[in-house]
């Protein structure tokens, strides 16, 4: 694998522009750029048209790829904005195929052939071994959740984690890492995220800024995922910044809320204040709901922006209070 410091940044910046012009999502651009840079291999599910684009781009920009023969249909999750981690085999033209991208074609072909060798694939995709183990250990439980592992991720004690390892933002086409971490505060995931961010910063800093999502994320398998502006409800800003569902009970309560707090040391984790009502933290609305505040930890801003100036932009509102003090 090529060292990320030796990456041809101007070539990859052009690759990023071409991907954007072709209508690729932010996460697809991230995965192609990280593979083309040699930092890690990537795995995508692409239509025949997407595979043809990869073939042309691979030829122009010098990265390898290999596509499987089997077609799959993605089973879209209605509560999560069309996100899918589950697929079924299909015949016909509408399917997507598994595609591995790597620095060269031989590596991509080896990964495609490795199929069920999770250790080998995990290593090439730079998934920490603790997270690969989590993926295997929780497979049965995940099957009941359309193979979406998000609700199974171990929570940090303080409900805060580094903005670098935010994977709840995948439902909003953001995030620096693609794998499900074993815990939101998985140290190895943060390390991989840090290295990925530094590679992306050299190649396409504006894409990196778009991929980073700070804030409080409320996750429910059933009732949607919510990206909150701030758990304190800053004056003049609605509580919800983005959401994948509008019709659920949880969506309706969050939409009416003027303030949302995380309650620690309780079996329920959210307290929602509205202009007219307050939802009791023990309400069934919060059944199976996970809440994590993703903030820049010490040094994250330097990794993301090269200095601390990023703290002044909208995503890192300096007025944001730390979450640690909310235990009650």
Question: Which window, 56-64, 185-193, 240-248, 302-310, contacts Zn ion (CB under 5 A)?
Answer: 185-193
Other Cβ atoms within 10 Å of 152 Cβ, number: 18
Choosing from 44, 57, 127, 186, the residue that interacts with Zn ion (CB under 5 A) is 186
Q: Tokens 């990320």 belong to which residue?
A: 4
Least separation in angstroms between CB 131 and Zn ion: 4
122 binds Zn ion (CB under 5 A): no
In this chain, which stretch among 39-47, 99-107, 180-188, 250-258 interacts with Zn ion, using CB under 5 A?
Answer: 180-188
Residues 6+ apart with CB under 8 A from 160: 292, 293, 294, 295, 322, 323, 324
Q: Is 128 a binder of Zn ion (CB under 5 A)?
A: yes
Residue 96 or 184: the one with the smaller Cβ distance to Zn ion is 184
Q: Write down the least CB distance from residue 193 to Zn ion, Å.
A: 11
155 touching Zn ion, by CB under 5 A: no
Q: Which is nearer to Zn ion, 182 or 213 (CB)?
A: 182
Cβ neighbour number for residue 20 with a 10 Å cutoff: 15
281 binds Zn ion (CB under 5 A): no
Q: What share of the chain is helix, strand, coil (3-state, %, to 5)?
A: 40, 20, 40
Of 99, 108, 112, 182, the one binding Zn ion (CB under 5 A) is 182
Nearer to Zn ion, 47 or 85 (CB): 85
> Which residue from 130, 146, 155, 311 is in contact with Zn ion, where contact means CB under 5 A?
130
Q: Calculate the alpha carbon distances from 246 to 55, 80, 233, 243, 251 in Å.
A: 39, 10, 19, 7, 5
**Smallest distance, Zn ion to C-beta of residue 166, A:** 14
Pick from 208, 147, 199: which is nearest to 175 by CA? Answer: 208
Task: Quickly count: other Cβ atoms within 10 Å of residue 189's Cβ.
Answer: 27
* Cβ distance to Zn ion smaller for residue 79 or 128: 128
Binding site for Zn ion (CB under 5 A): 128, 130-131, 182, 186
């Amino acid at each position: 694998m090529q060292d990320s410091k030796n990456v041809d940044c101007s070539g990859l910046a052009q690759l990023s522009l071409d991907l954007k012009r072709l209508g690729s999502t932010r996460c697809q651009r991230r995965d192609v750029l990280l593979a083309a840079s040699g930092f890690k291999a990537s795995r995508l599910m692409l239509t025949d048209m997407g595979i043809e684009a990869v073939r042309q781009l691979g030829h122009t920009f010098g990265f390898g790829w290999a596509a499987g023969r089997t077609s799959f249909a993605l089973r879209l999750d209605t509560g999560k904005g069309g996100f899918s981690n589950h697929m079924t085999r299909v015949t016909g033209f509408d399917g997507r195929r598994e595609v591995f991208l790597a620095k060269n074609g031989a590596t991509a072909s080896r990964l495609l052939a490795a199929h069920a060798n999770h250790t080998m694939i995990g290593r090439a995709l730079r998934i920490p071994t603790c997270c690969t183990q989590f993926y295997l250990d929780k497979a049965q439980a995940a099957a009941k959740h359309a193979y979406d592992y998000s609700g199974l991720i171990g929570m940090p004690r303080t409900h805060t984690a580094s903005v670098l390892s935010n994977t709840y933002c995948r439902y909003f086409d953001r995030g620096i890492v693609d794998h499900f971490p074993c815990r939101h505060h998985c140290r190895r995931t943060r390390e991989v995220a840090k290295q990925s961010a530094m590679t992306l910063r050299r190649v396409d800093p504006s894409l990196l800024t778009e991929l980073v999502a700070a804030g409080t994320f409320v996750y429910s398998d059933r009732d949607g995922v919510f990206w909150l502006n701030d758990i304190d409800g800053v004056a003049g800003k609605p509580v919800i910044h983005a959401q994948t569902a509008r019709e659920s009970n949880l969506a309706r309560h969050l939409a009416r809320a003027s303030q949302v707090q995380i309650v620690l040391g309780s079996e329920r984790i959210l307290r929602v204040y509205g202009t007219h009502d307050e939802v009791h933290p023990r309400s069934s609305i919060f059944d199976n709901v996970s809440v994590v505040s993703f903030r820049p930890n010490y040094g994250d801003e330097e990794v993301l922006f090269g200095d601390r100036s990023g703290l002044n932009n909208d995503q890192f509102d300096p007025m944001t209070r730390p979450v640690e003090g909310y235990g009650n």
